[in-house]
Chains A and B, each alone.
Chain A
Amino acid sequence: MVFGRGLRPLSIASAALLTSAFALVFFYAPNDADQGFVQKIFYLHVPLAIVALCGFVAGGVYGLRYLRSGDRAHDLRSYVSIHLSLVLAVGALLTGSIWAKASWGHWWVWQEPTLVSFLIVFLLYACYQPLRFSIEDPERQARYAAVFAVVAGAFVPLNFMAVRMAESLTHPRVLSTTGGAMPGSMRLTFLVALAGMACLFVTLCKYELASKHASMQLRRLKRRLAGDEGLVPLERSAAPQRL
């Protein structure tokens, strides 16, 4: 099984798309009439949040595939998707907070359903790694983590729809009201930034999958070589230990 296939073109595409996106943000897209220059954070914050949420859902899909097939590669994919989505979610929370301070004068608004719901999703997934780490048996670890990923993955779109239906106080509805009224130049910039972020996510996922797979193979080789010197026990880890 090769996880690192196509890494070079993906890395080049990610770098090219993100560089183009940032060039478009600062040299092509006009300043927002309402918020001015600070709205440039939108092209970073929204793609980060969208890709993080999609990554959580992807983790659930891989979890479901693991439960159906028992193939440990899907467990590894689910783990990596969720792990990387958590990193992007931290980025979305931090950039959102900076934008909130610049636009609304507050780092955080607890009355705003969009912010709080995203924080709930983030905190829910923050439990994923401790859950995995708390289970020693690899089979049980993979199975419980997959069930968690499926349930939490189903919660993400439900949560998204619930927030859409809720009355928003200050946070704009990006892909409906604000997004619908975006001029072409802003929409193009946003779409390139979204594509760049998605490409970066896939690239980093593949890097991590390749790295984890190499570690697993190395560990297996070590155990085989140490065969006559006593079995080297598997270290306890939140990450999948073998395929």
Chain B
Amino acid sequence: MPALPLDDAGKYVAAAYLVFLALVLIYVSIMATKLARISREIGELSDIVERRAEAAEQPRDREPV
């Protein structure tokens, strides 16, 4: 086939590079979602640890000196 004129070829070239960009963006957004979940779970765990530390300290506070 003869070479496509620039107007027609441009659409295909743009489509190919946009496919690559879309793939990278989708991948990065999935990774970002996973990292956000990890961050949220770390927050939940640190809350649990803090609550346990407080619970462990309370009986000691009530003991007579």
* Cross-chain contact B9 with A102 (CB below 8 angstroms): yes
Taken together as a complex, chains A and B put the C-alpha atoms of A202 and B41 apart, in Å, by 27
* Cross-chain contact B20 with A215 (CB below 8 angstroms): no
Q: How large is the interface on B (under 10, 10 to 19, 20 to 34, 35 or more residues)?
A: 20 to 34
What residue in chain A is nearest B23 (Cβ atoms)? A91
Q: A108 to nearest B CB, angstroms? A: 15
Q: A213 to nearest B CB, angstroms? A: 10
Inter-chain contact total with CB atoms closer than 8 Å: 76
Checking A44, A95, A98, A222 against B41 with a beta-carbon cut-off of 8 angstroms, the contacting residue is A222
Taken together as a complex, chains A and B put the C-alpha atoms of A108 and B38 apart, in Å, by 41
Q: Kindly state whether residue A94 has any CB partner on chain B within 8 Å.
A: yes
Q: A34-B3, A36-B6, A41-B13 are in contact. Are A90 and B27 (CB under 8 A)?
A: no
* Cross-chain contact B38 with A105 (CB below 8 angstroms): no
Q: Is the interface of A mostly helix, strand, loop or mixed?
A: helix
Q: A218-B38, A225-B48 are in contact. Are A36 and B16 (CB under 8 A)?
A: no
Q: How large is the interface on A (under 10, 10 to 19, 20 to 34, 35 or more residues)?
A: 35 or more
**B12 neighbours in A (Cβ, 8 Å):** 38, 41, 98-99, 101-102
* Cross-chain contact B20 with A221 (CB below 8 angstroms): no
Spell out A's residues near B (CB within 8 Å): 22, 32, 34-38, 40-41, 44-45, 48, 87, 90-91, 94-95, 98-99, 101-105, 200, 204, 207-208, 211, 214-215, 218, 221-222, 225
For chain B, residues 27 to 42, give those with C-beta under 8 angstroms from any C-beta of chain A.
Answer: 27, 31, 34-35, 38, 41-42
Taken together as a complex, chains A and B put the C-alpha atoms of A104 and B1 apart, in Å, by 6
**B10 neighbours in A (Cβ, 8 Å):** 37
**A103 neighbours in B (Cβ, 8 Å):** 1
What residue in chain B is nearest A102 (Cβ atoms)? B12
